[in-house]
Amino acid sequence: MSSDTLSPDAATQGALPDRLARAITLGGPIPLSQFMAAANAHYYATRDPLGATGDFVTAPEISQMFGELIGLALADSWDRAGRPDAAYVELGPGRGTLAADALRAMAKAQAMPPAHFVETSPVLRAAQAARLPGATWHDDLATLPDDVALLVVANEFFDALPIAQLVKGGDGWHERLVACQDTLFLPIAGKRVPDEIIPPSLADAPAGAIIETAPAAVTLIRALARRLVAQGGVAIIVDYGYEGPAIGDTLQAVRGHAAANPFDAPGEQDLTAHVDFATLKAAAEAEGATTWGPVDQGDLLLALGIDARAASLARRAPDRGDELAAARQRLVAPDQMGRLFKAVAIAAPGWPVPAGFA
Ligand code: SAH
């Protein structure tokens, strides 16, 4: 008979759902943010989730034009800032496709910064190394170079960071926890939180209403903004989201390109939440950085010249004309990714307004 359940570190052994179930049995329900952090860490550490055979497709995987145009926007900011020594930094670079396309386009504009990747997944680090063997990898922002300007990109990164939720009960707001019944995980209302922490505009929400906060994203943005202010540089952040504060439960799971129950199969499906751009901007501004946006991804790519880029690529490869037109449409059209995805820019004081954000 296994003595696993008796060992002191029982909650750290075995498959993730078993470990979470034991941790909850031993210590009680856990915060939603802890559940989401553990699920996504396991999910990304154990697979490449991108592409037609994976769970979801991202903009850089749709077309090289996405990374090229973002790279050109960074190179243009760098040029107008006086061409300081700089590093290219990407948060959660996936397969390295965006970085490869961006750095190739930047080199044509005489910008050849070394690549620094903030990435925790060993599987995706290996995929990135195959595309960009000369890059340097980091677990978080702390070890990034501190003596050069930073040209930063994050696409579909912030939506993967763990959120917390508050749920309104009959007597006020409660932290949302994750409990476990047998092998089923489910959200429950935990301890009551003080009314003072609820944004005044949401205080009168009806029972059952949910508010989200993103402590991990705020901590990361503050660290990023501090770097930009101290070292110079610009960050372009693309994701789907809203401008809060707002009521709403945006936690979702995707598996095999279809929606799934976020509390099923932790670690085996992608958990995301909509990004509150207003909160991210406020966090960056609190550190002294300047911010712009959100602008719709479609408007940004049109302003950066996606139509000219598509035409130029089609001239060189006429047989790819239809494919390029379809990719352009998918990235830009308001009923596809063009309006759902939005971009925010953050820069050091004195750095110019990035192209497409004016
Ligand atoms: N930017 C890529 C991939 C998006 S998927 C694209 O657009 O295709 C999210 C990426 O963020 C993955 O590379 C994942 O491993 C990474 N990631 C998720 N959580 C992270 C964390 N807490 N720290 C560092 N990287 C993380």
Ligand 1 atom with the shortest distance to the CA of 90: 1
Atom 2, ligand 1: residue with shortest CA distance: 94
Read off the amino acid at residue 190: G
Determine the angle formed by the axes of helices 321-332 and 64-80, rounding to 10 degrees: 60
Give pTM, 2 decimals.
0.96
CA–CA gap between residue 251 and residue 299 (Å, rounded): 26
> Which residue, by CA, sits nearest to atom 17 of ligand 1?
92
Query: Which residue has the least CA distance to atom 10 on ligand 1?
Result: 92
pLDDT of residue 9: 47
Q: How many residues does the chain have?
A: 358
C-alpha span between 74 and 233 (Å, rounded): 9
Give every CB contact of residue 312 below 8 A, 6+ residues apart in sequence.
Answer: none
233-242 vs 275-276, strand pairing mode? parallel
* pLDDT tens figures, 204-259: 999 999 999 999 999 999 999 999 999 999 999 999 999 999 999 999 999 999 99
Whole-number Å distance, alpha carbon 149 to ligand 1 midpoint, is: 22
Ligand 1 lining (C-beta closer than 6 Å): 40, 44, 50, 58, 60-61, 92-94, 98, 118-121, 124, 155-157, 160-161
User: pLDDT 10s digit of each residue in the chain, 358 long?
Assistant: 333 344 444 455 679 999 999 999 999 999 999 999 999 999 999 999 998 889 999 999 999 999 999 999 999 999 999 999 999 999 999 999 999 999 999 999 999 999 999 999 999 999 999 999 999 999 999 999 999 999 999 999 999 999 999 999 999 999 999 999 988 999 999 999 999 999 999 999 999 999 999 999 999 999 999 999 999 999 999 999 999 999 999 999 999 999 999 999 999 999 999 999 999 999 999 999 999 999 999 999 999 999 999 999 999 999 999 999 999 999 999 999 999 999 999 999 999 999 999 9
**CA–centroid distance, residue 46 to ligand 1 (Å):** 13
How far is the C-alpha of 93 from the C-alpha of 155, rounded, in Å?
Answer: 8
Q: What's the token pair of residue 355? A: 């192209």
Q: What is the separation, in whole angstroms, between the first and last Cα of the chain?
A: 67
Question: Which is the closest atom of ligand 1 to the Cα of 41?
Answer: 19
Q: Count of CB atoms within 10 A of residue 298's CB? A: 21
Closest atom, ligand 1, to C-alpha of 61: 8
pLDDT confidence of residue 52: 87
* Residue 187 near residue 261 (C-beta atoms within 8 A): no
- Centre of ligand 1 from the C-alpha of residue 157, in Å: 5
Distances (CA, A) of 310 to 143, 172, 198: 38, 53, 47
Residue 2 Cα to ligand 1 midpoint, Å, equals: 37
Cα 7 to ligand 1 centre (Å): 34
Q: What is the pLDDT of residues 42-62, one digit of tens each?
A: 999 999 999 888 999 999 999
- Residues with Cβ within 8 Å of residue 143, at least 6 apart in sequence: none
d(CA 164, ligand 1 centre) in Å: 19
323 C-alpha to center of ligand 1: Å?
27
Cβ 292 vs Cβ 351: under 8 Å: no
